[in-house]
Amino acid sequence: MQLNQRTVFIVSDSTGITAETFSHSVLSQFSKSFEFQQIREPFVTTDEKAKAVAKKINEIAEREKNPPIVFSTLVKQDILAYVKESNCVFLDIFGTCVSQLESALGAKSEPTIGMSHLSASSEAYRNRIEAINFSLAHDDGQFIHGLKEADVILVGVSRCGKTPTSLYLAMQYAIKAANFPLIPEDFERGSLPKTLQPFRNKLFGLSIQPDRLSEVRNERRPNSRYATLEQCLYEVAEAERLMRREGIEWLSTTTKSIEEISTTVLQILGLNKSSY
């Protein structure tokens, strides 16, 4: 079946990242019959820029004989008006919720441009960059002296997803996430690495299905012993046994995205950090 084509504009006075993520969720509900082509218009902060976007929308509407869909987070009414009056299906993504809240809270909203992300000069933003640097410096068991400052220490066998998860936790939640590999020596000794023992309450385990692990390791080091299914079966079984015995909470990353893993880590460790 031929899908219907529609052009989608993401129009924002800031980065438009919130609007874009939002639009993906909404549009996915129409993906059986439509295919969407996206155009991003960030930093639309002046009348001139808004007029240029409106012009582009009108041109595409004419060419495609269909009005484009516009996801807007514009807050200034005069700028918004230019875009809204173009030939489009205009979706003011914050508008409805803001109106509902005005009634419920009995207060007027005060729209400010570019409030979606914290300003780069705020302390919160600096904490976030610090967390990214921390997670990079404490990747893969490096630089163990900072572990006492970590909010969480991810443990698991090599290539089970610790590094991308640590970076996501840092980037999205300003969480100082170290990660530490569990290796055959640990399994032979039958205990956690000594370095980790003082930090038991910060540990969270990641595991993975052995066949998937073997696939991932083969991409990295083709035809190595490290990548054999046999080795992966052994390491995963031992790592899970160790985590069970040590009472470390863990989850399998096999079918989970870094967003899902990170959300679960926050939930289980009770880390009440706000998202960016």
Binding-site residue positions for ADP: 156-163
CB of 203 to its own copies, least distance (A): 21
Comparing CB distances to its own copies, the nearer of 83 and 266 is: 266
CB of 247 to its own copies, least distance (A): 23
CB half-sphere exposure, 175, CA atoms < 13 A: 26
Q: Amino acid letter at 146?
A: G
Annotated binding site: which residue ranges? 156-163
Cα separation, 147 vs 199, in Å, equals 8
Comparing CB distances to its own copies, the nearer of 2 and 119 is: 119
CB of 192 to its own copies, least distance (A): 26
Q: Amino acid letter at 164?
A: P
CB of 242 to its own copies, least distance (A): 24
DSSP string, 44-100: --SHHHHHHHHHHHHHHHHHHTSPPEEEE----HHHHHHHHTSSSEEEETTHHHHHH
Give the chain's count of helices (H) and strands (E): 10, 8
CB of 131 to its own copies, least distance (A): 10
Rounded to 5°, the CA angle 4-86-36 comes to 25
Comparing CB distances to its own copies, the nearer of 218 and 264 is: 264
Comparing CB distances to its own copies, the nearer of 163 and 199 is: 163
Cα separation, 197 vs 56, in Å, equals 60
Comparing CB distances to its own copies, the nearer of 192 and 208 is: 208
